[in-house]
Structure 1
Amino acid sequence: MKKLAILCGFVLFASGAATAQADVQGDAEAGQSKSVTCAACHGQTGTSPSGDFPNIGGQGYKYLVKQLMDYRLGAQTNGAEGRNNMLMASQVVNLSDQDIHDLAAFYASQEHPVGTVDEEIVEEAQRLFMGGDLDRGITACAACHGPSGLGMGLAAFPLLSGQHAEYTALTLKEFRSGDRSNDPNGMMRDIAARLTDRDIEILSKYIRGLY
């Protein structure tokens, strides 16, 4: 828990410093007009029709800005830095900082979807999500994402509630393997490395129904 407090403090400090240095403000109306191509995968209001693509409606503004910035950096460095994704690279490589902030403002202003949870996994998944597993060194998901999975906007910890189970499972596996590495201070990689396939399955299904 002490380690978690230090890491969370680091992220809060870094997030605050970045905000202090940034002069760009997002315009949701402008973002909507720029979101036409995004809608093909993420839906018009950020609710994706497919589990292959994340729901981004209602997602935290700072988190969305960071991810888009990281995708753009990945595209500009051929995956050496940032977040590497071939599909997203082609969409973000030419976005300006203003474009990114506008898109983030638009999607952050939308409602996030509410999903359902499989009753048979609730007790097991809730125990791991809410309390972690001390014996395995797994920090509770709720510590950073909140008991309802609504995230922590100031720290850029993402909203999880209502996310597609397929996408959540894929993301956790990418953190576990190291294929995704744009988490601050390796926080998610450290946790995901301790998760079993069963852990990932039940957490993903549980998160889908959080609200």
Structure 2
Amino acid sequence: MKKLIAGVVLGVSLTALAHGAGDPAAGEQNAATCAACHGPGGAQPIMGNYPKLAGLGEAYLAAQLRLIKSGERAVPEMTGQLDNFDEQDLQNLAAYFNQQPAGGGQANPDLVTRGQALYRGGNMASGVPACAACHNPQGKGNEPAGYPRLSGQNADYVAKQLKAYRDGTRGGGNNAQLMTDVASRLTDAEIEAVASYVSGLH
């Protein structure tokens, strides 16, 4: 597992370095259409199972936009949305959303203890590593490695993605293999608890 994590971190870091930085001002011009689903600045999605885009990390956002555009990551709601965007447009969008203030969320008080234990310490019995190892103890992510910010993210969205990794319906990208392995070891109750916890982590 440690070799896999190290390999993924190196691969993502090199990928991130291979692409130029985006222009947030240029990205803002194309972000208006995104607000219909993700809210102004990508911070207030209209539905809980849509992601907050604000502050996720430019490298992560750009990588996901590329995967969605190519179809390697299937997101039915995004079908056709990126067809007219070139590589620089995607990078600019990522830069714009990354600079927007990330909003907070609210954790279910009944799930905080279990969610915190899993996020910070993992589950040694089932081989689940601590989420904090890659996503930062405060949930701020790891921009150079391309790991997204989880702090304040919608709990419904986090749970949906963990279940998609677990059942193999979310793939693509350098992190997919790692997340598929981690999620395959999570129970529904653990997913609910850790998703709730990161939503309130801010």
Q: TM-score range by the shorter chain?
A: over 0.9
Alignment match, 1:77 = none
Alignment match, 2:162 = 172
| Contact in 1 for aligned 2:24/2:99 (Cα 8 Å) | yes
Alignment match, 2:125 = 135
Q: Does 1:114 align with 2:104?
A: yes
Matching residue's letter, 1:98? Q
Q: Does 1:42 align with 2:38?
A: yes
- After alignment, is 42-51 or 26-35 more displaced? 42-51
Higher-RCO chain (CA-CA 8 Å, sequence separation at least 6): 2
| Contact in 1 for aligned 2:63/2:173 (Cα 8 Å) | no
Over 3 Å counting, the alpha-carbon distance change for 1:192 and 1:68 in structure 2 is same
The one-character-per-residue Cα deviations of 1:42-99 (angstroms, maximum 9, x if unpaired) are 111111132121001111000000000000110xxxxxxx201222121012210011
Give the alignment's TM-score, normalised by structure 2: 0.94
Q: 2:84 aligns with which of 91, 94, 112?
A: 94
Alignment match, 1:197 = 188
List 4+ stretches of structure 1 deviating above 3 A.
none
Matching residue's letter, 2:157? Y
Alignment match, 2:21 = 25
Please state whether the residue corresponding to 2:42 is helix, strand or coil.
coil
Correspondence list, 1:138-149, <5 A: 138-149=128-139
Cα offset for 1:183? 4.7
Alignment match, 2:74 = 84
Over 3 Å counting, the alpha-carbon distance change for 1:175 and 1:209 in structure 2 is same
Over 3 Å counting, the alpha-carbon distance change for 1:88 and 1:20 in structure 2 is same
Cα offset for 1:18? 2.1
Matching residue's letter, 2:117? R
| Contact in 1 for aligned 2:13/2:146 (Cα 8 Å) | no
How many correspondences in the alignment? 200
The one-character-per-residue Cα deviations of 1:146-189 (angstroms, maximum 9, x if unpaired) are 11111111000110010111111111110010000125260000
Cα offset for 1:124? 1.3
Give the alignment's TM-score, normalised by structure 1: 0.90
Q: Which runs of 5+ in 1 are unaligned?
A: 75-81
Q: Which runs of 5+ in 2 are unaligned?
A: none
Q: 1:161 aligns with which of 151, 162, 171?
A: 151
Q: Which whole-Å CA distance do the structure 1 matches of 2:186 and 2:53 have between them?
A: 25
Q: Which whole-Å CA distance do the structure 2 matches of 1:87 and 1:119 have between them?
A: 31
Q: 1:103 aligns with which of 74, 83, 93?
A: 93
Over 3 Å counting, the alpha-carbon distance change for 1:20 and 1:173 in structure 2 is closer
Alignment match, 1:79 = none
Alignment match, 1:58 = 55
Identity score, percent: 38
Matching residue's letter, 1:66? A
Q: Which whole-Å CA distance do the structure 2 matches of 1:42 and 1:19 have between them?
A: 24
| Contact in 2 for aligned 1:183/1:189 (Cα 8 Å) | no
Q: 2:8 aligns with which of 7, 11, 22?
A: 11
Cα offset for 1:38? 0.5
Q: Does 1:206 align with 2:197?
A: yes
